[in-house]
Structure formats: structure tokens, C-alpha cells
Copies of this chain bind each other. A is one copy, B any other.
Amino acid sequence: MSFKPEMDRSAKKTGSNIVLALDLPPDQPQRLLSKSIETLKMVHPFICAVKLNRQLVLPLGLSNGVQQIVRWIHDQGLPVLMDCKVNDVGYTNRTIAEYYYRAGFDAVTANPFVGWDEGLQPVFEVAKQMHRGVVLLVYMSHKGAEEGYGQVIHEPKTGRRIPQYVVFAQKALSWNADGAVVGATYPEKIREVHTILKNHVPIYSPGVGAQGGSIQSAINAGARYLIVGRSITLAENPAETAKLVRDTAKQFLGE
């Protein structure tokens, strides 16, 4: 099964649209590994997928600790995304994606800014061959996102001015991406992107909680999945917080 329907299946089965971002603060590798599994044990009943980041890959190594975590998550029947934000030349992008897919990841994130030819085309190719996913960054959740994702592009063919994130949303649609990331800190951007993507490309929204985004506004604007990290992982009671976030989201999703 390819990644988009796989996520849909997982969200229906778990009754959750929460993707846990397992972004733990720097620590000793062995402690990071046990902290990861510990957090997952508490939180997994309330989430539909997990997103890992270089906060784990760099200290643990892909083939050592990270593959153990990926296997553990798969054993619970949940998909795992690698948030590597691919933005290199095609030859390197393809190699990066292949390493992550072979390590078991079901999808990678990528930056559409790098373009198609000799850029992301090789990543979409290998994803197709291996039945995995590519999720594109359309508008990130941090303040400085405005500088790049929020800038206005002059379209040479039409002479029109068009926001960068609209260009990216159009690429997500035409490249047939498995998802589009739009920060929950910018609900009006989620709405605009959702108008372009409709139900063809689901929106993944990070930035609720620690970064200030609201669950209600993100979902009402059209976010399909919420990516939640520190609000859960650093909470006094991660399980309770995860359940609360899930239930709040559920209420607005009308599921």
C-alpha cells in the first residue's frame, strides 16, 4: 500500500489524527533510545503515526538505534515518517531517500524549493518503486518562514504575483505528493493551501502547542493531520496530554 492510503487507514483504525514528533532534546545515545521507547509506550494508543528527526538519527545512527525505534513503531501497526527535509541535488537526494526507506521509513519530507529536474524527481521515482511516500514542505511553522515560504514570486509567463507557498502547493498537487506540511501557526495559509489541494493531498500541520498554533484553527482551516512534538514529549504526563490533544482534534474534525 502506498503512503497516502496507509495514513488514511491508520487514522481510521486508531481514531487519531496526531502524528507524534519524537524530537527529544540532546542526550546520551543510550538514554535517547530508552527515552524514545518509553515515550512511545505511553503515547502510542493516542496517535496515528510517528515522525522522527535528525535529533535521533545523528546521535543514534540509522542502522543502530533508529531502526530499533522504527521496528517498535511498526510492531504497533503505525507508519513512520523521516523528517529529513531533502533539499540536495538529485544524486544525493536519491541516496538519502533510499537509505531512509531501506531503514524502514514509510515516508520522507522534502523541500520543493530544490525543484524537479535533478532535484526531487529521483526521490519521487524511488518512492514509487518502493511504495513509500514523499511529503512536501509548503509553509513551515517558525517565524522566519515568512522570508522564504511567505515571499512573493513574479511569474514570468503570466506576469502575475503569486505567494511562494501557493507555488509549492501547486507543485505538491502536480507532483502527486503524499502530503503537504503547513504550519499551524499560519491557519490562513492552511485554508488557502487546502483550497488548492482539496482532498488530493492531505495537509500535515506542525506547530500547535509549544510554537503557539491552535488545534481548532488548524483543523477548521483544513489540516488533516497534526504533528505534535514537545507539547507531548516534554509534558509531565505525555499519555494524558496525547489523549487530550487527540480528543480535542477529534472534536473539531467531527469524527
Contact = CB atoms under 8 A, between A and B. Distances in A.
Interface of A: 23, 25-26, 29, 53-55, 57-59, 61-64, 83, 85, 87-92, 95-96, 98-100, 111-121, 140-148, 151-154, 156, 161, 211
A147 to B, nearest CB: 3
B115 A142 contact: yes
27 contacts: A25-B95, A26-B95, A26-B98, A29-B63, A54-B95, A54-B96, A55-B92, A57-B58, A58-B99, A61-B64, A87-B111, A89-B140, A89-B142, A89-B211, A90-B142, A90-B144, A111-B111, A114-B148, A115-B142, A116-B144, A117-B143, A118-B144, A119-B144, A121-B144, A151-B153, A153-B154, A154-B161
Contact of A119 (B120, B145, B211): B145
A142 B118 contact: yes
A131 to B, nearest CB: 20
Q: What are the 4 tightest A-B residue pairs by CB atom distance, in nearest-first order?
A: A115-B144, A61-B61, A115-B147, A119-B144
Nearest to A29: B63
Nearest to A121: B144
Contacts of A140: 89, 114
Given A83-B88, A87-B87, A117-B142, 11 more contacts: A58-B96, A59-B63, A61-B61, A85-B87, A89-B142, A113-B113, A114-B144, A118-B142, A120-B144, A151-B154, A152-B153
